[in-house]
Amino acid sequence: MPELPEVETVMRGLKARVEGRRLDRLTLHRGDLRKAIPSGLAAKVSGQRVTRLDRRAKYILIYLEDGGVLLVHLGMSGRMVLGDRDNPVPHRPHDHAVLDFEGGIEVRFNDARRFGLIDYASQAAALETHPLFRHLGPEPLDAEFTGKRLAALLKGKKTPIKSALLDQTVVAGLGNIYVSESLYWAGISPKRLAGTVQGERAETLARAIRKVLTHAIDSGGSSLRDYVSASGELGNFQNHFAVYDREGERCPGCDCKTRIKRIVQSGRSTFFCAKRQR
């Protein structure tokens, strides 16, 4: 599933091309994805000018001039790919939505597995109470995301820190790849109880999360299976993984002889260095 850096990369690619343009037409080829698409959505948003684009957790937010917000989640395999008159997007199976913007700009939402979604909020002010957002924790790239804030969110939790960070009510947007990488650079074992990550340990982890996410965004995200950017290009961060999917390889940060290990936590693969991470 695309995580925060991949969604941020797609959002920025769209933002550069469609912010300020009128959405001439939204064409929907089906009435549902992971959940039903709101009835009458195409008529509601077609003709509206896009005032800005943003991201919340793993959602792309398209703000419209009438105050409404179009919400898009890429799910497991979703793509939003840009084209124009000179470089049209090839028509593919599973193109479930097409957004045509003034000036001949086109965005195709393709989702083979249909785990993505398209939704709508009538007012931007209502986003924080929207069913998709009201449970979400803080954004890890916001200035308010400090070690002190993270420690407070983790206090008293008896689950492993890896599981706690995957909980979207604790921190929004983190997924399996970037939690494994962040714990590595923070020197924290994924098996450590979340409630014990306090004080300087929490400060170190908050810094590591921001550093890993920033590096991943600068690299265009990670392309392992389906993910491509809005321009159709692959991400590059998978070439910079320290531990993720590196089972049996040498730890890049120490001379451990046991090499990188893989365990399963809550049904997800976790990669770590048992010597470096405590």
Position 16, amino acid:
A
**Distance in angstroms (rounded) separating the CA atoms of residues 29 and 16:** 26
Please answer whether residues 252 and 277 qualify as being in contact, where contact means their C-beta atoms are separated by less than 8 angstroms: no
Instruction: Cite the active site residues.
Output: 2-3, 58, 268
Contacts 24+ apart (CB under 8 A), 68-71: 68/44, 68/120, 68/121, 68/122, 68/123, 68/124, 69/120, 69/121, 69/123, 69/124, 69/127, 70/45, 70/118, 70/119, 70/120, 71/117, 71/118, 71/119, 71/120, 71/121, 71/130, 71/132
**Distance in angstroms (rounded) separating the CA atoms of residues 205 and 188:** 8
